[in-house]
Amino acid sequence: MNIQTAPVAAPDFSAIKTRQQTAWASGDYAVVGTTLQIVGELLCEAADIGGGQKVLDVAAGNGNATLAAARRWADVTSTDYVGSLLARGRIRAEAEGLGVAFQEADAENLPFTDAKFDAVLSTFGVMFTPNQERAASELLRVCRSGGKIGLANWTPDSMIGRLFKVLGGYIAPPAGIRPPSLWGTTAHLNLLFGADAKVSATERKFNFRYRSAQHCLDVFRTYYGPVHKAFAALDADKQAALEKDILALFNSCNIAKNGSFTAPAEYLEAVVTKN
């Protein structure tokens, strides 16, 4: 007896991307993003960014890698699909007197010619694209042969990777979409880039530092788009349950001994050299 199953529909990447864009535009990610500046600095060192290089920052947010590269006298183009975040990056660049070009752009459809850049960077940005293969292909396409793609991605077991698992228990992720934290594994980066590039990766830790676990939750709930939108989508009882689960996660990660909050979060710093 033949058992026929209905074909699995392909994810509607366009609709998913629209919802993601709305989420990241909510709250004010820049409040959280500015605390991550050291990651951009370390990534630029790892990718050996230097003066005169043409550098593209993809899904740049409010510009951590952008500013780090510009401080090294690179010619930087900063892109994101959320215009309000680019505006925050522009303010930061102007405050430091850094010349940076800002342009709204979709990481899965970059509006640049092939091999235009010496280096392409992304810190906790491109990892959230719904079509992962397409995004990786675009990073490779706009990078010249011998150029470098520098990435900072949260690992699956990091505090942020676990936070998204908690959120997924309340707001189901889109069907057919793989976890963004896969970008935080060397094996997955090899699948995405390995045929056309050499992947070198180092696991690092970023310390989230807040006044308390509750303070960290309050900041994320107010300003971090995915958390902000999750709370807004739930009724009061589920909001209380989500708050309890996130606080439990944050407390389990807290290593501070003085009543404050210090939570190491693992991320993968990867440098992908294009063949």
Whether 83 maps to a domain, the answer reads: yes
**Helix, strand, coil shares of the chain as percentages rounded to 5?**
45, 25, 30
pLDDT of residue 3: 45
pLDDT at 7: 46
Total domains, the chain: 1
Chain centroid, CA 80 distance in Å:
11
Instruction: Output the domain CATH number for residue 70.
Output: 3.40.50.150
Query: CA angle, 65 as apex, 59 and 67 as ends, to 5°?
Result: 120
Residue 223 resides in a domain: no
What range does the domain containing 64 cover? 17-156+174-208+268-274
The answer to whether position 221 is within a domain reads no
What tokens does 145 get?
Answer: 């042969």
pLDDT in tens, 90-149: 999 999 999 999 999 999 999 999 999 999 999 999 999 999 999 999 999 999 999 999
* In-domain check, residue 204: yes
DSSP secondary structure string, 111-172?
-S-TT-EEEEEEESSGGG-S-HHHHHHHHHHHEEEEEEEEEEEE-TTSHHHHHHHHHHTTSP
Whether residue 130 is contained in a domain is answered as: yes
- Residue 216 in any domain: the answer is no
Q: pTM for this one? A: 0.93
pLDDT of residue 9: 59
Q: Give the pLDDT confidence score for residue 1 in this predicted structure.
A: 41
pLDDT < 70 positions in the chain:
1-9
**Residue 12, domain member (yes or no):** no
Question: Is residue 244 situated within a structural domain?
Answer: no
